[in-house]
A = this chain, B = another copy of it.
Amino acid sequence: MKIDPNSSKDLSAQIATAIRDAIVAGDLIVDQRLPSEAELADQFEVSRPTVREALKRLAAQSLIRTQRGATGGAFVNRLRYAEAYTQQVTTSTLLLSMNAVSFDVACEARYALERACAPMSAQRRTPDQLATMRAEIHRQSQPDLSDEAFCASDVTFHRALVDGAGNKVLSYQLAGAVEAMQPLMNMITFSARSREAIVALHTELADALTDKDAARTDQTLVKLEAYTRELAQNVADARARKAAEKESTTA
């Protein structure tokens, strides 16, 4: 592992890349201890703070973990689903919020992905997952629920549906998409009537999954997508009307 002191990039960035490449290539294996910060500083011919900055970069990506003490040091971390999942949600959320992604595009992506695991979910869903869905449906029926709590429950419901496919890779990939949508969903104010409609569709989904009816699950997801987009459209229209009114009174 070598670095170029004359490169335009930071030394810490170069060192981080070098170590990351070694991990990805398998030269450093899980739970293996890296040399101490002092040793790394010697090897790369830089100071300890520079090495530390590089290690912090790797720690931010959960590639290493550090331990203090006599037998401490930096260790190659086994990337777990939970960590990867958290990172993915953060990244996806920021990506959507920073790039003016339209509600329709995000919604289309989300339901396309969800429909992808519907057939598997209909076949493999566990009683536990069905119970989670029923519990969330019940929660969503509470009249005094805040809009945000309603959305959070919606996410939990859909995660149970996705997890029902019994494929961890699929769950991991979709979790990001479903959860990243939440801020966009939060912009919608749910009327009592629209909540009722959504609860009805959720119930239909749970029923279809209970019956292992893949086709009906798929159809219900299509209905739910259409209804969600209709709701968002109404909100957008209402805003546009309000803006127009304000314009006319000002003029």
Q: Which of B52, B113, B116 interacts with A53 by CB under 8 Å?
A: B52
Q: How far is the CA of A99 from the CA of B30 in the complex (A)?
A: 10
B94–A167 touching, CB < 8 Å: no
A233 part of interface (Cβ distance < 8 Å): no
What is the total number of copies of this protein in its complex?
Answer: 2
Per-residue 0/1 for A46-64: is the Cβ within 8 Å of any B Cβ (1 yes, 0 no)? 0001001110111111010
Pick from B79, B115, B169: contact of A177, CB below 8 A.
B169
> Is A208 at the interface (CB under 8 A from chain B)?
no
B-chain residues with CB within 8 Å of residue A98 when the two chains form the complex: 30, 78-79
Instruction: Looking at the assembled complex, report how far the CB atom of A161 sits from the nearest CB atom of chain B, in whole angstroms.
Output: 14
Task: Say whether A24 contacts B120, CB under 8 Å.
Answer: no
| Contact, CB under 8 Å: A170 / B84 | no
Task: Give 1 or 0 for each of A96-131: 1 = CB within 8 Å of chain B CB.
Answer: 111101000110111011011100100000000000
Closest Cβ of chain B to A164, distance in Å, is 13
* Docked pose: A80 CA to B98 CA in angstroms: 8
B53 touches A105 (CB 8 A): no
Q: Does A223 sit at the interface, judged by CB under 8 A?
A: no
B94 engages A168 (CB within 8 Å): no
